Structure 1
Amino acid sequence: MNCPELKTNNYRLRAFETKDLNRFAQYRAQKSVAQYQSWSDYTYQDAVALFESTDYFRFAVVGQWYQLAIALQDSDELVGDLAVHFIDDEQVELGFTVAPDFQGQGVATEAASALLAYLFSELGKHRVVATTDANNVASYSVLEKLGFRREAHFIQNIFFKGAWGDEYQYALLSSESKFK
C-alpha cells in the first residue's frame, strides 16, 4: 500500500519529498524543538538519511516507522511532521513535531486527528499509543485534547540528555475514539 495523502481544513499530510528536507532539518535543529526529542544536533544529512530509509511505497508495514509531512494546503510549505510506527497488526505508535513558527496554532491536533481517523477507519487499527516526556506540557496537552488516556507515569525511567527523566504513556482505543 502506498503512503496516503490526507487532507484537513488547513493541511495536507503526505509522504516527504526532497524539497522538504532542508526545512525539516532546519526546524529539527532548533534547540526548542530538540529539547524533548532523541536528537540534539539534527543535520541536513540526518534528514536525507531518514528520507532515503523510508519506503513510502510500502506503507503500514509492521515494525516500520514513517514520517509524514504536515504541509500547508495552499502553499505546500512544510510546517511539521507526524511519526507513525506500526508496532504490530493492531497497534500504532504516534509522534509529532511542529516547526516553532507554527507551534500553538493547533497544527499537531488537526494533523493527528486526520491520521487517527485514517488509522481507525481505513486501516482498522485497534489502539494508538504515544510516549512523551512528563515535562513536555505542549505534547501531552495535544494528546489529551485528542482523547488519549494517560495509562502510565514512568518515574526516572530514561537517562536522557545527561539526566534521569520521567515519561507519560498515552493510548487511545478505536472504541474510544471520535475519529472514525
Structure 2
Amino acid sequence: MFVDAVIETDRLRIRPYQLKDVDSLYEVVSEPNFYQYVPEEVPTHDDVRKIVEWSMDCNLKNTKENIIKFNLAIIDKEYDELIGYCGLGPFDLNKNKVELYFGLSEQYRGMGLAKEAASAVLNYGFNVIGLNEMVSTVHPDNIASVKILESLGFVYFNTLKDLPKNEAYFEGHNYYVIEK
C-alpha cells in the first residue's frame, strides 16, 4: 500500500520516491519560483537526498492509522521523467489530520497535470488507504492551487491566523477540508 504503491492516470505514474530520483527531484524543487508559495526553504541537493532516503524509510513504517509521510514522485509517462511530487502526511498544525500536497515543475503547469496527480492521490487516500477526511493549505495568492483544490471538492474552512511563532510560516494560508 505504501512501499509498492503505483498510481496510474492517463498521463502520469505516481510512485514512492526512489534513490534514482534525487537529481531529477532536486532540479524540480530548485527552480526559481518553485517555493514561491511554499512555507519552506529551498532544499540543497544533499537535503533532497536525505528527504528521499527518509521518505523511503517512512514508507516502511507507514500504516493506515499512522501515515508518517507518503512522498510520491510524479512521473510523466510519455517521457518517463520526474516532473514533480505529491503525497500525504500529517498536517503540521494538527498531527491528527492528513494533508494532501503537490508541486509541479513550472514547464508542466497549466496542462491539468497537477490536478490529475492530486485527484489520483486523493482517490488513493480515500479508497485504498481508507481515510475519511483530508486537509490542504494554500497561500491565497496561489490561484492555480486554489482552483485545483476547489475543483476536487475541497471546501474552504478558514484562513490561518494568530498562529504561534513556531508555526507562523502558515500565517494567512487558506485551510481546506474534504470528506470522503
TM-score tier after normalising by the smaller chain length: 0.7 to 0.9
Aligned to 2:73: 69
CA distance in 1, matches of 2:118, 2:30: 22
CA distance in 1, matches of 2:41, 2:49: 17
Aligned to 2:11: 10
Instruction: Indicate the RMSD between aligned Cα atoms, in angstroms.
Output: 2.4
Q: Deviations over 1:2-60 (max 9, x none)?
A: 43101000000101122221121122122311111233332111110101112233344
1:49 aligns with 2:53: no
CA distance in 2, matches of 1:58, 1:155: 33
Cα pair 2:11 2:76 within 8 Å, conserved: yes
Listed as ranges, the matches of 1:58-137 within 5 Å are: 58-60=61-63, 62=66, 64-86=68-90, 91-137=97-143
Q: Which runs of 5+ in 2 are unaligned?
A: none
Q: Deviations over 1:50-86 (max 9, x none)?
A: 0111223334461511210010123320011003115
Could you tell me the percent identity over the aligned residues? 27
Q: Residues 76, 156 of structure 1: CA spacing in aligned structure 2 closer, same or farther, 3 A cutoff?
A: farther
TM-score, normalised relative to structure 1:
0.84
TM-score, normalised relative to structure 2:
0.84
Aligned to 1:36: 37
Q: Deviations over 1:115-134 (max 9, x none)?
A: 11111112221101001112
1:139 aligns with 2:145: yes
SS of 1:69's partner is: strand
Cα pair 2:2 2:70 within 8 Å, conserved: no
Higher strand share: 1
The amino acid that maps onto 1:34 is Y
Q: Deviations over 1:100-155 (max 9, x none)?
A: 11011111110111111111112221101001112221211110111100011224
Number of aligned residue pairs: 171
CA distance in 2, matches of 1:159, 1:2: 31
Q: Residues 5, 28 of structure 1: CA spacing in aligned structure 2 closer, same or farther, 3 A cutoff?
A: same
SS of 1:125's partner is: coil
CA distance in 1, matches of 2:121, 2:17: 15
The amino acid that maps onto 1:40 is E
CA distance in 2, matches of 1:8, 1:59: 23
CA distance in 2, matches of 1:101, 1:130: 24
Larger deviation: 24-33 or 148-157? 148-157
The amino acid that maps onto 1:47 is V
Q: Residues 63, 115 of structure 1: CA spacing in aligned structure 2 closer, same or farther, 3 A cutoff?
A: closer
